[in-house]
Amino acid sequence: MLHHLAIIMDGNRRWAKERMLPKIAGHKAGYDNLQKMTELCKNKGIKYLTVWALSTENLEKRSPDEVGGIIKLLNSAINLKKKFLSEDIQVQVIGDTIRLPESSQKVLEELMASTSHCNSLTLTIALIYGGQDEIIRGIKRYIATGKNIDDLTTENFREYLDVSILPRPDVIVRTGGDVRHSGFLLYDSDYSEYYFTEKKWPEFDEEELDKVIAYFENCKRNFWK
C-alpha cells in the first residue's frame, strides 16, 4: 500500500499563462488544489503527503512580486487550522525556513504546534528547499556536534537531514510534463518510484491520483522498506 506520497507541484505558472491570467492566479489555483489533494490522500489511506512548494532556486530567481504573492498565500494557511484539526491532519515543514519572513515562520510554527497530535495524515511542506542544500545543511549540523567523522554512516547521517522526520517516499510524482527530479528528497529517493504526468498541478485530480496509486501497486519492489 502507498504509505508516503511526495509531489513536485509543477505547472502553476503555465496553467495561468494558458488562461491569460497572472502568475499568482496559478499559484492560488495550486494552493486550492493542495487542500483538495490532502483530503483525498487521507481518505485513500495515504499516511504521508510531502509537497515541494518553494525551492531555494525559486526564492533566488523569481521576481519579488511573485515570491511575495506566494508568501501571502503561505501566510493565509493559518486560516486552514480548523480544517486540519477537524480532519486530523498534522502539518510539518522542511527546508531552510529561517530565510522566510518572520510572519511566515510564526504561521508555520502555530500550524505545526496546533496539529502536532493529529495522525490521520501528515502533510509536509518543503519550503526554501533544495536536495543539495539539505545535504550541505546536514553536514554542517553533523560537524557542529563534534563527533568523529569516521563514525558517520549513510544511515546515521540521515538523522541530521530535514527528512529524518519522515519515512522514505514510496512514490515521487512530478506534474507539469517535465521529466526530472530536480533534487527533490535527493538523499531519500534512491529507491522511490517516479511518476510523471503532463497534467499541471492545478489540474491534478482524483482520477490522476488513482492512476498513481495503481501504478505503485503494480511496481515490483525488490528491496527492504
pLDDT score recorded for residue 222:
66
Q: What is the mean pLDDT of the segment spanning 18-44?
A: 97
Positions of E strands within 115-219: 121-129, 171-174, 193-196
Question: pTM (2 decimals)?
Answer: 0.95
pLDDT score recorded for residue 62:
87
For 18-32, letters b (16+ CB in 10 Å) and e give: eeeeebbbbbbbbbe
Q: Tell me the C-alpha distance between 220 and 210, whole Å.
A: 18
Q: Tell me the C-alpha distance between 170 and 13, whole Å.
A: 27
Q: Tell me the C-alpha distance between 144 and 161, whole Å.
A: 13
Determine whether 151 is exposed, middle or buried from the number of CB atoms within 10 Å of its CB (0-12, 13-18, 19+): exposed
Task: Tell me which residues are annotated as active site.
Answer: 10, 58
Q: Which of 8, 38, 36 is nearest to 121 (CA)?
A: 38
Residue 56 scores a pLDDT above 50 = yes
Provide the 3-class DSSP secondary structure of residue 220: coil
Give the CATH superfamily of 4-217.
Decaprenyl diphosphate synthase-like (3.40.1180.10)
Lateral strand order in the sheet of 193-196: 89-94, 121-129, 48-55, 4-8, 171-174, 193-196
Residue 224 scores a pLDDT above 60 = no
Block residue for cell numbers 496539529: 115
Q: Tell me the C-alpha distance between 160 and 135, whole Å.
A: 9
pLDDT score recorded for residue 225:
47
Compute the Cα dihedral for 55, 59, 62, 64 and give only its sign. positive
Three cell numbers, residue 99: 530565510
pLDDT score recorded for residue 223:
58
Q: Tell me the C-alpha distance between 132 and 140, whole Å.
A: 13
Q: What is the pLDDT of residues 83-129, one digit of tens each?
A: 999 999 999 999 999 999 999 999 999 999 999 999 999 999 999 99
Q: What is the pLDDT of residues 192-217, one digit of tens each?
A: 999 999 999 999 999 999 999 999 99
What percent of the chain has a predicted confidence (pLDDT) above 90? 90
Q: Tell me the C-alpha distance between 120 and 130, whole Å.
A: 27
Angle formed at CA 149 by CA 146 and CA 151, multiple of 5 degrees: 105
First-last CA distance in the chain: 12
